Amino acid sequence: MSKKILILAGDGIGPEIVAEAVKLLVALRDRFGVDLEMDEALVGGAAYDATGHPLPPETLAAARASDAILLGAVGGPKWEPLPIAVRPEKGLLGLRSGLGLFANLRPAILYPQLAAASTLKAEVVEGLDILIVRELTGGIYFGEPRGVDTLPSGERRGINTLVYTESEIRRICRVAFEVAMQRNRRVCSVDKANVLECTELWREIAIEVGRDYPDVTLSHMYVDNAAMQLVRAPKQFDVLVTDNMFGDILSDAAAMLTGSIGMLPSASLNAERQGMYEPIHGSAPDIAGQGVANPLATILSVAMMLRYSLDEPEAAGRVEAAVGRVLDLGLRTGDILSPGTRRVGTAEMGDAVVAAL
Ligand X SMILES: CC(C)[C@H](C(=O)O)[C@@H](O)C(=O)O
Please confirm, yes or no, whether 224 is among the known catalytic residues: yes
Residue 320 binds ligand X (CB under 6 A): no
User: Residue 152, annotated ligand binder?
Assistant: no
User: Residue 92 interacts with ligand X (CB under 6 A)?
Assistant: yes
> Is residue 147 a contact point for a second copy (CB under 8 A)?
yes
Choose, by CB under 8 A, the member of 89, 135, 278, 351 that binds a second copy: 89
Sign of CA dihedral 54, 60, 61, 63: positive
Distance between CA 280 and CA 258 in Å, rounded? 13
| Alpha-carbon distances, residue 64 vs 25, 57, 103, 172 (angstroms) | 20, 11, 17, 21
- Point out the catalytic residue in the list 141, 213, 277, 308: 141
Is residue 337 within the footprint of a second copy (CB under 8 A)?
no
Question: Which residues, numbered 166-205, are part of the site for a second copy (CB under 8 A)?
Answer: 166-167, 192-202
Using CB under 6 A as the criterion, what x/- string covers residues 258-277 for binding ligand X? Answer: --------------------
d(CA 332, CA 155): 52
Q: Which of 58, 197, 212, 224 binds ligand X (CB under 6 A)?
A: 224
The 3-state DSSP class for residue 140 equals: helix
- Output Rg (C-alpha) for the chain, integer angstroms: 20
Residues 221 and 188 sit within 8 Å (Cβ to Cβ): yes
Would residue 141 show up in a list of annotated catalytic residues for this protein? yes
DSSP 62: H
Among 156, 215, 339, 340, binds a second copy (CB under 8 A): 156
Name the amino acid, one letter, at 227: A
Fill in the DSSP letter of residue 75: -
Cα–Cα distance between 97 and 106 in angstroms, integer? 18
Q: Is 293 annotated as a binding residue?
A: yes
Binding residue per annotation — 290?
yes
User: Which of the ranges 5-13, 17-25, 64-72, 220-228 carries the binding residues for a second copy, by CB under 8 A?
Assistant: 220-228
Rounded Cα distance between 101 and 267, Å, is 9
Is 318 assigned to a binding site? no
Rounded Cα–Cα distance for residues 34 and 273 (Å): 19
Q: Are 333 and 6 in contact (CB under 8 A)?
A: no
Total of chain residues touching a second copy, rule CB under 8 A: 63
Is 292 labelled as part of a ligand binding site? yes
| Interaction between residue 75 and ligand X (CB under 6 A) | yes
Task: Considering only the stretches 7-15, 180-188, 206-214, 218-226, report the one whose residues sit in contact with a second copy under the rule CB under 8 A.
Answer: 218-226
**252 is known as an active-site residue:** yes
3-state secondary structure of 148: strand
Q: Which of residues 257-316 bind a second copy (CB under 8 A)?
A: 257, 261, 282
Please say if 164 is a catalytic residue.
no
Name the active-site residue from 212, 224, 311, 328: 224
Catalytic residue among 248, 277, 335, 351: 248
Q: Are 319 and 353 in contact (CB under 8 A)?
A: yes
Q: How far is residue 23's CA from residue 349's CA, in Å, rounded to a whole number?
A: 11
Q: Which residues bind a second copy (CB under 8 A)?
A: 75, 80, 84, 87, 89, 93, 119-121, 124, 140-141, 143, 146-148, 151, 155-167, 192-202, 223-225, 227-228, 230-233, 245-246, 248-253, 255-257, 261, 282
Q: Which residues bind ligand X (CB under 6 A)?
A: 75, 89, 92-93, 194-195, 224, 248
Write out the catalytic residue numbers.
141, 192, 224, 248, 252
